[in-house]
């Protein structure tokens, strides 16, 4: 690869890798039939007037396939954590015994599973767009380098084909993550 455009490819690859990592994080927060502590990652608790991520106030574990246990470090914050979980609209009702908060994940209905599949498909499409935006910026950089005479027409054509291959590689990775997540959601 030509030295004039190597940094462009490096930047595009980093952006695309970040998009895939963000896809994994977002998919982890979508509920499946199985208890997953990542389900509560997005929850922020109003702790002494400050929005604080739940994972900084408590440990979340999944001792059983359909149960999450939230062990709050500061027992006085348990009611605040409960309110935050209810407000997150996850379809979970917290119960507490003064020591820990238990969240029993109800069995997902077929209708709810289909809604969740739509949600993950929408997330995947947003992420594919992110990958394509990185390709667009890369192609603009290649064209600019060509116009300035830093690279030849042939090198520019090869670079654009390589940009397409890179894009395809990362969109395929997102599609595979989507396929796995859909399978996980539809699993009874």
Residues 116 and 182 in one domain: yes
Structure tokens at 1: 């690869």
Q: What is the pLDDT of residue 116?
A: 86
What would the pLDDT profile of 9-19 be if each residue is shown by its tens digit?
A: 999 999 999 99
Confidence class of residue 188 from pLDDT cuts 50, 70 and 90? low
Where among 60, 78, 104 does a domain terminate?
104
- The whole model's pTM is what? 0.75
Residues 95 and 118 in one domain: no
Task: Identify the CA nearest to 119 among candidates 19, 21, 32.
Answer: 32
Distances (CA, A) of 3 to 7, 136, 150, 160: 8, 20, 9, 15
User: For the chain, what percentages of helix, strand and coil (3-state, to nearest 5) are there?
Assistant: 60, 15, 25
Mean pLDDT on 143-147: 92
Where among 54, 74, 104 does a domain terminate?
104
Sheet holding 101-104, edge to edge: 58-64, 67-72, 101-104, 94-96
Residues 132 and 169 in one domain: yes
Confidence class of residue 92 from pLDDT cuts 50, 70 and 90? confident
65: containing domain: 37-104
Residues 43 and 90 in one domain: yes
Mean pLDDT of the residues in the chain: 90
């Amino acid at each position: 690869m030509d030295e004039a455009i190597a940094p462009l490819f490096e930047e595009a690859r980093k952006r695309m890798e970040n998009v895939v990592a963000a896809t994994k994080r977002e998919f982890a927060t979508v509920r499946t039939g199985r208890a997953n502590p990542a389900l509560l990652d997005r929850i922020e608790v109003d702790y002494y007037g400050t929005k604080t991520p739940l994972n900084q106030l408590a440990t979340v574990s999944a001792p059983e396939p359909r149960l999450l246990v939230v062990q709050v470090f500061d027992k006085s914050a348990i009611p605040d954590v409960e309110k935050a979980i209810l407000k997150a609209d996850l379809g979970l009702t917290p119960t507490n015994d003064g020591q820990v908060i238990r969240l029993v994940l109800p069995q997902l209905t077929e209708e709810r599973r289909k809604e969740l599949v739509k949600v993950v498909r929408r997330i995947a499409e947003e992420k594919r767009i992110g990958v394509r935006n990185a390709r667009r910026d890369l192609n603009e950089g290649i064209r600019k380098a060509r116009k300035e005479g830093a690279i030849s027409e042939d090198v520019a054509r090869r670079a654009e084909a390589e940009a397409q291959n890179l894009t395809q590689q990362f969109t395929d990775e997102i599609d595979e993550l989507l396929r796995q997540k859909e399978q996980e959601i539809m699993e009874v």
